[in-house]
Structures are given as C-alpha cells and as structure tokens.
Structure 1
Amino acid sequence: MSIEGPGSVVFRNVRKAFGAFTAIHDLSLTIEPGTLVTLLGPSGCGKTTTLRMLAGLEHPTSGRILIGGRDVTMLPANERDVSMVFQSYALFPHMTALDNVAYGLESSGLKRKEARERAEDGLALVGLAGMGGRLPAELSGGQQQRVAVARALVLEPQVLLLDEPLSNLDARLRRRVRTEIRELQQRLGFTAVYVTHDQDEALAVSDRIIVMKDGHIAQEGAPRDLYEAPASAFIADFMGEANVVSCDILGVEGGDATIRVEALTHRVPGRDIRPGPAKLAVRPNAITLEPAKDGAFSGRITHAAYLGDHVEYEVKTAAGTLFVVDPAVERALAPATEVAIGFKGRGIAIISG
C-alpha cells in the first residue's frame, strides 16, 4: 500500500466563533505535502478546533481552507480527502481488527474481497500482520492505536489527522508508538497534522510545530528552533521548563549579544536586538553550579532532589529562584550550600517577555 499524492494544507485568514466567543482569530498557515506538523498548546488554545475545521467537523465563520489546492471550506467531512485517528480510537468493539480496518473501504463501495485484502495490507503496514482476527478487547492499547492508524491509512488520504492519538497510553508505550508513527509517516510520505498538548511528543515526531495560544499562533518552526530560540516567555516555558530572569544587554557584535545577569556576563545569539534591559530564558540544564567564590553570580541551594540520573535543585539568587537540572549525581550538593552560578553555551535565549 502507498499513499498517492500527499496534499498540502492551507488556512487563509480563518476565524471561528461560537456565539460571542471567538475560538480562532485570523489564522493563516501552510503545511507542505509529505510533512508532519503538530498543533501544540494548552487546553483551550484552539488546536482541536483547528483540526476539526480541517476535518470538516466544524466550518469556519470566515476565511478559507484548502487541501491539495482545492477549496474545501464548506465541504462536509465525507467529501474531503482526509482520514482521522481519534483520541478514543473509536474502534467497533464487536468487530475484529480486520473488519475495523476494512469498514471504511467497504462503506466507500469497495468490494468485500478487495477491501479485506487492503485491510490485511494495512495491518501488516503497522506491524499487526496475522492479528486481524482479534477483537479490540483482545489487543493492547498500543495495538488498538495501530489498528486505528491502519484504518485511516488504507483510505489513502491526502492528509492524515491525529487528535491526541497517544493520550490513552502509558508513558513507556507512548514513547514507542510515537516512534512508530513518525517512522511510518516518513516511510510512506503522507501529510499528517498532529494535535497534542505534550511537548515531548511534539518535539519527537514533528517536522514543524505550531504553538497556539488563545486562538492565535504564538510561534512556529522546527522543533529545535522553538526549543533553543523561543520568542517569548510563554514559548520558553511551554516548550520545556525555563527560568526567566532579567538581564542587561551590554552590546551586540557578529550576531551575538553580550548579556549580564547580576555579576555574570555571557554571550548568546543576538537576533537583531538592541542594548538595554531584556528578559532571558535559561533552560534548567543550561545552568552550572560550582563552589562559591568572590565576584561570582552566587546563590544558595534551598532544595535538592535525587532522581536517579540527575539531581534537581532550587537555588535562591538575587535574580530570583532558579530551577537547575544537574547530571552530576556523584557530587550531589546539599541544601544550604553556597554556589557560584554559570551558564552553558546552549539553552539560553533572549525573549520578548
């Protein structure tokens, strides 16, 4: 089985209102064919409403939606070349895995024999060959999830939509299945739009991440760009924990800025900024703790927690309390220890506030 002609997705100035409440404000975005793009954000940010409009389960109040260059703005769900994997999987409990996968094909008019052959190919594609005779209750959560993916893929859609597809799985199984989804998408080359509130999930599977807040796009880009160069305090904190501290930009040269936090000076990417007061996002693992010394940016450990492969610290400083993650478990520091604080070369960015 192959996916023929993965489609692009375009939102042009899309707005969605529910009565007096506007869920989506003037949304414009483009998703290139053959890419996996994740809509990420907290509950109520608009990501699921965006996905439902793409699926045809909701219609925009204004604006246009195009799939593969075709305007589908007001088309019903069954007239769009998309398939959806729901959070609950929505498998028929009285049907076998094979029957579940074949159901959409048969409903579209395909003869039973051909539908079942394609369904068997679909199950093999997701690693469930020979398991078509099992009922959903006889499958693990991860296997049920793969049946739902197979059922969507056999329809050979231009775009595959995934709505929180791993939320019902335990943490270890989520890691494995998200890898399987990503490998499958890359192997078959289909376009996928993936909705999640889980930052690690988004970082692991995406070509591009669109972070949403209050019905707007807060920032979009490659996973590494969003993590290492957040544009705001919201993005910095949402894409993994970050310490936000005040700093002074002393000067900009060659694309880098020299910043000062208390007694510490450091160079970070400048990103077309000007000297003066600013905010700095510092990842917990970008902070170093050394023995206290005169003239250093200093702090005092108020809390320490050993977590096996790292130690978590809270350090009280003149710039505020810092959360620090240190892999040096062999030299764990005790509360009340005075320390000198430094920054590593990565994991630090100037933000807008």
Structure 2
Amino acid sequence: MNTAMNKGSVRFEAVEKRFGAVVAIRSLSLEIEPGTLVTLLGPSGCGKTTTLRMLAGLEQPTAGRILIGGKDVTALPANERDVSMVFQSYALFPHMTIAENVAYGLRSGGMSKRQAQERAEEGLVQVGLKGYGARLPSELSGGQQQRVAVARALVLEPQVLLLDEPLSNLDTRLRRHVRTEIRELQQRLGFTAVYVTHDQEEALAVSDRIIVMKDGEIAQAGSPRDLYEMPASSFIADFIGEANVVPCEVVRAGDGRLKARLGGLTHEIRAGTAREGAAKLAIRPNAMFLGDRHPDFLDGRVTSAAYLGDHIEYEVETAFGRLFIVDPAIERVRPVSSDVGIGLHQRGVALIPA
C-alpha cells in the first residue's frame, strides 16, 4: 500500500440537483484542496448527503460539472471516478474474514489473490489492525469494524476518500476515539477526504475546513475556528456549537473592534466590519458567568439550575429573553428564582452581520 496516497482536488461548478419539482441542491460551487479533510455539515435534508452521492457517482447532477483531480467526471459511473466510500453501515461481508473484506475491491478489480492479500495486510497495519486478518467481522468491536471499512477503502488508493456519517453507529465514547483515529490517519497519509455528518462537535474535531449547508446551499464555509468565532448568521451561530442570539446596540466601531451594549452591560469584541446601531450578538453558553446584581451586569432571574458534575447549566430570564448559561463555578449554586447579574468573558461573543 502506497503511504504517499493520491491527493485529488474536488471542484463543483454550479451543480444543481432536482428530484422532480424539488430542488435538492441549488447552483453549488465549491473547491476542496488536495490532502485536506473537508466536512459537509448541516441538519437533515440540507443536501449534504446528496452532494456526497453526486461526488461518488451514485447520483447524477441535473446541471453543472464535477471535477476530481482536474478531470471532469460528471458523466462517469461510480467505478470510474477514483474515489472510495466508507458507508454508515460499514457494509462488511459477515461470511468473509477481515483480510478478505479488505481485499474484496482489489480482487474485483482483477488483482491476483496473493497480491490482494498482501495489500490487505498492509492496509490493516495502516489502521492499527495488524494480526486481525483471519477474524470475522462479528469478532470485532464496532470501532474495529469501522477501521476495517476505512482500510478497505484506502487499499484502493483513491484520489478522494468519502465518509458518509461514519460514526453514527457508535456510542458517544467510541465516537470520540474513532474520530481521532480517522483524523490522525488522514493527516499521516495525507489523502483528500470529504466527510459528511450532522454532528457539530464531530465536524469541529476532524476538519481542516467545514462547509455548512442549509436548504441545498452553502450557508458558510471556513475553518472550524472561523465558523465558531465568526458566524455569518444566526443559523450558523446556533448550529455550530450553541449560542444565545440577543439584540444589542453597537455604540462604537472601528479598527477591527467594536463596543456593544446589552442592557447595562457593555462589551468590546473583535469584528471585521461593523457599523454603529442595532445589531445582534451570538453569546456562547460558557461565555457568561453569574454574580450578584450590579449596574455593569445584565439583570436576570434563575428559572432552572442543573448540576452536571464539572459545571452547572442555568436558564436565566432577562429583558432579552431566556439565556442558557454553562457555569463552571460549582461551589456556589444559584437557586431557582434568585436574582443574579450576568457578566461576559472576553471570548465566546461574536457580532452577527446584519
């Protein structure tokens, strides 16, 4: 198995997909650099899986072009696109050994049994499953089966590896472990990967770049940090992580900074472009802290408090609506119906463009 994997670029040029009268994808244009892991993220029905299936050749676009490694593959069938797909269900053959599963695509492509076996064993080493080749899928854990599915895709040395909700069948702790393994493997081998998920935390953890989709279009694209710290809309602010979106007044703006007023509270934040006047702030739950009422704080009243071990989750009623607050100060629980003041930390507050 070639450790210097193929690195194909991906380009969508004004791609549209219709199912009858329903427009699933609207004039989608995007580019994925070779050797990067890009995640298509969004709620159910946003078009991310349809986009992946068009890239794989499992769906044909109604309009536009798809290029892989600079080659127009729009009209090519799936088996001629030089991509491999890791499915949500793993799709392992239960009656075949692990090595036979990994070698299946190679044998189907005409490779000799011996050579395919050697490549399969190399593939299992790459994903940390050396010595597992003689076992059956039923003898492996869910995380190990997932790695087998990745190995089976990688031994084909595709230009692009496609992963469709690859962790959805795993429990929470195993998801975290396997997503780290996938990311480390991608960085070590340097292949291009397109990853589909609806899980925001998963996308933040594995991606070089995230493309957030909504209603068949790109809502925002950028690095995980850009999307989290500089959301372009209320939808992005609430979808990437969680945010309290509240109205504010920008009282001073310039030199990439602004000062916003929220009740009696004023806060200075970084902002690329902003004008004075009415605006909205996206405030992360952990960007707020509770104290006693004070003229420089936002007044509130606790409506719920839940102790979760290393933090307390509060809901606090304010003049701007109910705010969700995550407070690590577990030594003092603010009781329900108590009056509090809300302050802001420096990070975790962003201006949402008008």
Deviations 1:326-352 (A, max 9, x none): 011112211122111111111111113
The DSSP-based 3-state class of the residue aligned with 1:17 is: strand
| 1:77 counterpart letter in structure 2 | A
Alignment pair present for 1:239 and 2:229: no
What is residue 41 of structure 1 aligned with on the other side? 42
Query: Shift of residue 293 of structure 1?
Result: 2.5
**Whole-angstrom distance in 2 between the partners of 1:260 and 1:51:** 43
What is residue 188 of structure 2 aligned with on the other side? 187
**Whole-angstrom distance in 1 between the partners of 2:323 and 2:171:** 31
Query: Shift of residue 246 of structure 1?
Result: 0.5
What is residue 159 of structure 2 aligned with on the other side? 158
The DSSP-based 3-state class of the residue aligned with 1:236 is: helix
Deviations 1:222-263 (A, max 9, x none): 001101111111001100110010001112022111110111
What is residue 341 of structure 2 aligned with on the other side? 340
What is residue 94 of structure 1 aligned with on the other side? 95
Deviations 1:172-231 (A, max 9, x none): 000000000000000000000000000010000000000000000000100011011111
Q: Is the 8 A contact 1:24 1:215 kept in 2?
A: yes
Runs ≥4 in structure 1, deviation > 2 angstroms? 293-296
Write the mapping of 1:117-156 to structure 2, written as runs, cut at 5 A.
117-156=118-157
**Whole-angstrom distance in 2 between the partners of 1:73 and 1:256:** 45
What is residue 177 of structure 1 aligned with on the other side? 178
| 1:174 counterpart letter in structure 2 | R
**Whole-angstrom distance in 2 between the partners of 1:346 and 1:339:** 21
What is residue 224 of structure 2 aligned with on the other side? 223
Q: Is the 8 A contact 2:254 2:274 kept in 1?
A: no
Write the mapping of 1:247-286 to structure 2, written as runs, cut at 5 A.
247-286=248-287
| 2:134 counterpart letter in structure 1 | G
| Superposition TM-score, scaled by structure 1 size | 0.98
**Whole-angstrom distance in 1 between the partners of 2:75 and 2:83:** 14
**Whole-angstrom distance in 2 between the partners of 1:352 and 1:20:** 33
Note the residue ranges of structure 2 that are not aligned, 5 or more in a row: none
Query: Shift of residue 101 of structure 1?
Result: 0.2
What is residue 206 of structure 2 aligned with on the other side? 205
Q: Is the 8 A contact 1:160 1:190 kept in 2?
A: yes
Query: Shift of residue 3 of structure 1?
Result: 4.2
Deviations 1:121-150 (A, max 9, x none): 101111111111111111110011000000
| 1:36 counterpart letter in structure 2 | L
| 1:171 counterpart letter in structure 2 | T
| Superposition TM-score, scaled by structure 2 size | 0.98
Deviations 1:278-297 (A, max 9, x none): 11100000011111134632
What is residue 66 of structure 1 aligned with on the other side? 67
Q: Is the 8 A contact 1:3 1:157 kept in 2?
A: no
The DSSP-based 3-state class of the residue aligned with 1:89 is: coil
Answer with 262-271 or 115-124: which moved more: 262-271
The DSSP-based 3-state class of the residue aligned with 2:331 is: helix
Query: Shift of residue 270 of structure 1?
Result: 2.5
What is residue 13 of structure 2 aligned with on the other side? 12
Write the mapping of 1:17-32 to structure 2, written as runs, cut at 5 A.
17-32=18-33
Query: Shift of residue 5 of structure 1?
Result: 2.8
**Whole-angstrom distance in 2 between the partners of 1:49 and 1:246:** 36
**Whole-angstrom distance in 1 between the partners of 2:205 and 2:197:** 12
Count, aligned residues: 353
Q: Is the 8 A contact 1:3 1:156 kept in 2?
A: no
**Whole-angstrom distance in 1 between the partners of 2:102 and 2:5:** 19
The alignment's C-alpha RMSD in Å is 0.9
Query: Shift of residue 271 of structure 1?
Result: 2.2
| 2:204 counterpart letter in structure 1 | L
**Whole-angstrom distance in 2 between the partners of 1:295 and 1:36:** 44
